[in-house]
Amino acid sequence: MSDRYAVFGNPIGHSKSPRIHAAFAAQTGEAVVYEAIEAPADDFAGAWRAFVAAGGRGANVTVPFKQDAFALAEVHTPRAHLAGAVNTLWLDADGRVRGDTTDGVGLVRDLQAHAAPLAGARVLLLGAGGASRGVIQPLLEAGVDTLRVANRTPAKAQALAALFAGSGRVDGCGFEALEGDFDLVINATSASLAGELPPLPETLFASEALAYDMMYGAEPTVFLRWAEARGARTLDGLGMLLEQAAESFWLWRQVRPETAALRERLRAEL
């Protein structure tokens, strides 16, 4: 008898999560079936309850339901509490709904897999939305020296930075106030979806800097093309997707799948 897991979103037809978790199950020998569920935009909780009633054990949660999942969870991990969002749900031995966020761990592990500068690095995080909030604490815990959040609305960047001020050297500013150079620049804005670029200064990258876009596709995003033209190494978010899924699988099954070979297969399929 296989245990049921799923990914909830709206829309969800594009999700690679069923492909990824099927590969994890085959690799590890875990008895897992995994499906994609498009929940009604106004009733994520009802969709979750129906899934659990039908035998569901846990789920990933994507746009636009991460805040709904946070509200639904009865127990939050410390990193989910800081992020204010949940992308992984599961039932514990007492039947309580537990919530965690694996996005930040996924980002850090992908960066580490590509020998990215983290320990002692000067990091710039573009955007002050939920994608940024979920990765700040893991980046600080990875040992970065400073982390600056930049956003079109300076007050949003400053407010987000203030939430994590007790965890490391983090500040916020508007794009127009950016100065200096950085070892790692992470694009967590949605600009890449529209083929747009945030208003960034030309002198953004230190020597041997890495530019990372959380978006991914068959072709480099406009941000990555812009960064490469200015001498930066580049990396997109496909590996982050894979590594956050591996962390979710571990939370559910206490088994950690290997990701390197699957990363190459997913890249070839784009």
Give the model's pLDDT for residue 1.
Answer: 84
Fold match flag (3-101+240-269 vs 104-236): yes
Q: Tell me what percent of the residues of the chain surpass a pLDDT of 90.
A: 95
Q: Which is higher by pLDDT, 114 or 1?
A: 114
pLDDT for position 27: 98
Q: Round the average pLDDT of the chain to a whole number and report it.
A: 96
Question: CA-to-CA distance for 9 and 79, rounded, in angstroms?
Answer: 22
Instruction: State whether residue 210 is helix, strand or coil.
Output: strand
For domain 104-236, the question of CATH label 3.40.50.720 is answered with yes
Distance, CA of 88 to CA of 58 (rounded, Å): 7
Judge whether 13 is annotated as a binding position: no
Tokens of 109: 């592990």
Q: In what side-by-side order are the strands of the sheet with 97-100?
A: 32-38, 3-9, 56-61, 88-91, 97-100, 75-76
Q: How many helices (H) and strands (E) does the chain have?
A: 11, 12
Query: CA of 104: how far to CAs of 1, 207, 245, in Å?
Result: 33, 25, 11
Q: Would you say 12 and 36 are in contact if contact means Cβ atoms under 8 Å apart?
A: yes
pLDDT score of 81: 94
Question: pLDDT (tens digit, 9 = 90+) per residue, 193-220?
Answer: 888 999 999 999 999 999 999 999 999 9
Question: 28 labelled as ligand-binding?
Answer: no
What is residue 197's predicted lDDT score, i.e. its pLDDT? 94
- Kindly state the tokens that stand for 153: 């609305």
Amino acid 117: pLDDT: 80
Q: Topology of domain 3-101+240-269, per CATH? A: Rossmann fold (3.40.50)
Q: Is 62 annotated as a binding residue?
A: yes
103 annotated to bind ligand: yes
Pairing type for strands 3-9 and 97-100 reads unpaired
| Apex 183 CA angle, 191 and 260, nearest 5 | 75
Catalytic residue among 8, 34, 36, 66: 66
Catalytic status, residue 66: yes
220 annotated to a ligand binding site: no
Report domain extents, the chain. 3-101+240-269, 104-236
The answer on whether 101 is annotated among ligand-binding residues is no
- Prediction pTM value: 0.95
CA atoms of 209 and 197, how far apart (whole Å):
18
Tens digit of each residue's pLDDT (9 = 90 or more) over 95-147: 999 999 999 999 999 999 998 989 999 999 999 999 999 999 999 999 999 99
Would you say 176 and 200 are in contact if contact means Cβ atoms under 8 Å apart? no
Report residue 188 as tokens.
């967590």
15 among the known binding-site residues? yes
* Count of beta carbons in the 10 Å neighbourhood of residue 98: 19
Contact 152, 198 (CB under 8 A): yes
* Residue 128 in marked binding region: yes
Per-residue pLDDT tens for 139-198? 999 999 999 999 999 999 999 999 999 999 999 999 999 999 999 999 999 888 888 999
